[in-house]
Structure 1
Amino acid sequence: MTTETTSSSTSSPRAFAWARRRRAVARFWRQYRTHRAGLAGLAVLVVIALLALAAPLITGPDAQSVTRAPGAPMEDPSGRFPLGTDQFGRSLLYLLVWGARVSLVVGLLAAFLSVAIGTLVGVTAGHFRGWYATVIMRITDWFLVMPTLVLAIALATVLERSIWTTVLAIGVTTWPTTARLVRAQTLAVESRPYIERATALGGGHGHIMSRHVLPNVMPLVLAQTTLVISSAILTEATLAFLGLGDPTVVSWGGLLQDAREAGAVSSGNWWYLAPPGLAIAVVALAFTLCGRAVESVLNPRLGASR
């Protein structure tokens, strides 16, 4: 009997916590479904993500091979090649599908790195204040006034060209906006009475930040993440277009750079330029729509003001 009582007492709080999380997720989804633009953006992202995951099955193993290209260089769109071929004779449609993998992965990883740095800086600057907050926010202001793309180009130029270099270059140069937003939210949270009670009861800095501040700033962090992903994808495409991406992988920005080098602009080969550019714009717009919908759900007053 004692064992059963102990087991039930330890499992009940856990089960209650999971039930509360499930109700919160269900409530979030019900509210999110009322935003048609957010649903449209989510549907586009799901389709593109499925295509990226199924790229090896759709295109075959030789879609990126230069030596085993199935067509002639720079072929016009046809039934065999709906988007034509590149300068090596590879199907541009298949390359577009493969490029989704790199662009999405780099955009997601870079956005998560950027938001993680910004959240850490914002929470600690809002909690500790004093000289630490002054120094860290002056560094943040310096990053804000410096052109992000210029800093990313400088890092990508110095370091070895690879996917991880691109992720690092974007992540460490785009965090200041998140840091300022999170710090403002942290200051608002720490002015509430329950923070004073937790401090009076002996709660340390780590306890206050992890148990009280971070859960309250997470909705803002989630909304900011979806917005940062779109800018990260655009920055990755820009770096690849400038020749600073990984030359061994296919990405949408890399396709645009290849098209420029192949003279697609002067020769009027629109099928080489338009599809990668449209793919970048569509994915960035989809993430922005999702981010705005998430922001409206998590902040109802913002949605009402719009």
Structure 2
Amino acid sequence: MTATAVSTLAPVPAAGTRGRLRGALRSRRLRLGLGVLLFFALFGLIGPLFAGDPQATSTDLGQGPSAAHWLGTTQIGQDVLDQLVVSTRGSLLIGVVAGLVATAVSIVIGIGGGFLGGWADELLSLLSNVFLVIPGLPLVIVVASYAKGGGQPATILIIALTSWAASARVLRAQTLSLRSRDYVLAARLYGESRTRIVLVEILPNELAIIVSQFIFAVIFAILTQAGLAFLGLENPLDLTWGNMLYFAQNAEALSGGSWWWFVPPGLCIALVGAALALVNFGLDEVLNPRLRRSS
């Protein structure tokens, strides 16, 4: 391969990257999604510093929103706003960390197997197929029932280790296509190590897919944790949006008309899910040439 041919495979200039970032900020979907996520991130990180004890009780039993309790109280006098603030941190932490772990596992198995090929690819593909064949929700429920009371680390591991397989299959298929490209073959001819080829030549070209999979992994983790908590399979001492819904359901808040107890956590779950979806759509408009709007 000639030097001229190799030079055409050079990375995109920094100016092009900056232009793409400016284009991303022009996406209304992306701006709206990032704005909502920033609000919840600040609400969960800074809010607990100003909130009271979420477990503290008062004589205001089952009261609606008022000046003293902006989101009302529970049936035993706990402030719903204080619980919501602390629960936001717990739910976001589980979603982000579980999404990161699941994405990391899918990268290692998907890209690793697709690049190595041979028996390594066969074994890793078999592992992915086993997790894909097993129904996800029943598996999560069964594992969570045995690990009940394990706290947030156990929840994160359960969700992450049962949600990586589909992403790994997508990354494997993409890697099988990329490893035969000219720039990868050129890197092999120059004697670059496998690690460098994967990290420099293949991984950046799959970044858009990885980011999209991470976003949906976070959504899946938040919804799954909320579902497990609502079923009573989570440690009740860990305040999350799902546990708030669980206690509200046990106290018959819906039939009792205590909407201020179950509407805020349910609305938070819906807003975060919608914001993550908007971010994903906005990034897709920028990173996918077929969807990129003409300036």
> TM-score, normalised to structure 2's length?
0.88
Work out the number of aligned pairs and report it: 282
Q: More deviation in 280-289 or 85-94?
A: 85-94
What amino acid is aligned across from residue 102 of structure 1 in structure 2? G
In the aligned structure 2, how far is the partner of 1:96 from the partner of 1:258? 13
Q: Which residue of 2 aligns with 1:154?
A: 142
Q: Which residue of 1 aligns with 2:189?
A: 200
Q: Could you tell me whether the CA contact under 8 Å between 1:153 and 1:169 is conserved in 2?
A: no
Q: Could you tell me whether the CA contact under 8 Å between 1:32 and 1:293 is conserved in 2?
A: yes
Q: Which residue of 2 aligns with 1:257?
A: 246
Q: Could you tell me whether the CA contact under 8 Å between 2:113 and 2:121 is conserved in 1?
A: yes
State the SS of the aligned residue for 1:300.
coil
In the aligned structure 1, how far is the partner of 2:23 from the partner of 2:102? 27
Q: Which residue of 1 aligns with 2:221?
A: 232
Instruction: Give matches, 1:81-230, under 5 Å.
Output: 81-159=69-147, 160-230=149-219
Q: Which residue of 1 aligns with 2:41?
A: 49
In the aligned structure 1, how far is the partner of 2:62 from the partner of 2:22? 48
Structure 1 position 285, deviation (Å): 0.8
Q: Which has the higher helix share?
A: 1
Q: Which residue of 2 aligns with 1:3?
A: none
In the aligned structure 1, how far is the partner of 2:73 from the partner of 2:192? 63
Q: Could you tell me whether the CA contact under 8 Å between 1:143 and 1:173 is conserved in 2?
A: yes
Gaps of 5+ in 2: 1-10
In the aligned structure 2, how far is the partner of 1:204 from the partner of 1:42? 38
In the aligned structure 2, how far is the partner of 1:208 from the partner of 1:150? 39
What amino acid is aligned across from residue 22 of structure 2 in structure 1? R
Structure 1 counterpart of 2:64, from 68, 73, 76: 76
The verdict on how the C-alpha distance between 1:303 and 1:267 changes in structure 2, with shifts beyond 3 A counting, is: same
Q: More deviation in 138-147 or 284-293?
A: 138-147
Structure 1 position 25, deviation (Å): 5.8
In the aligned structure 1, how far is the partner of 2:189 from the partner of 2:21? 38
In the aligned structure 2, how far is the partner of 1:142 from the partner of 1:48? 36
Q: Could you tell me whether the CA contact under 8 Å between 1:256 and 1:273 is conserved in 2?
A: yes
Structure 1 position 124, deviation (Å): 1.2
Structure 1 position 44, deviation (Å): 0.7
- Residue by residue over 1:59-92, the C-alpha shift from the partner in whole angstroms, topping out at 9 and shown as x without a partner, is 13x2x12xx4234221222232232111221111
- Residue by residue over 1:250-294, the C-alpha shift from the partner in whole angstroms, topping out at 9 and shown as x without a partner, is 110000000011111232222212111111011111011111211
What amino acid is aligned across from residue 113 of structure 1 in structure 2? V
The verdict on how the C-alpha distance between 1:106 and 1:28 changes in structure 2, with shifts beyond 3 A counting, is: farther
- Residue by residue over 1:228-269, the C-alpha shift from the partner in whole angstroms, topping out at 9 and shown as x without a partner, is 211211111111111222322211000000001111123222
The verdict on how the C-alpha distance between 1:225 and 1:95 changes in structure 2, with shifts beyond 3 A counting, is: same
Q: Which residue of 1 aligns with 2:278?
A: 289
Greater relative CO (CA pairs within 8 A, separation 6+): 2
Q: Could you tell me whether the CA contact under 8 Å between 2:48 and 2:85 is conserved in 1?
A: no
Structure 1 position 200, deviation (Å): 2.5
Structure 1 position 24, deviation (Å): 6.2
Structure 1 position 303, deviation (Å): 4.4
Aligned residues with identical type, % of pairs: 36
- Residue by residue over 1:32-74, the C-alpha shift from the partner in whole angstroms, topping out at 9 and shown as x without a partner, is 12221221111011111111111233313x2x12xx4234221
What amino acid is aligned across from residue 256 of structure 1 in structure 2? L
Q: Could you tell me whether the CA contact under 8 Å between 2:24 and 2:30 is conserved in 1?
A: yes
CA RMSD of aligned residues (A): 2.1
Gaps of 5+ in 1: 1-16
What amino acid is aligned across from residue 281 of structure 1 in structure 2? A
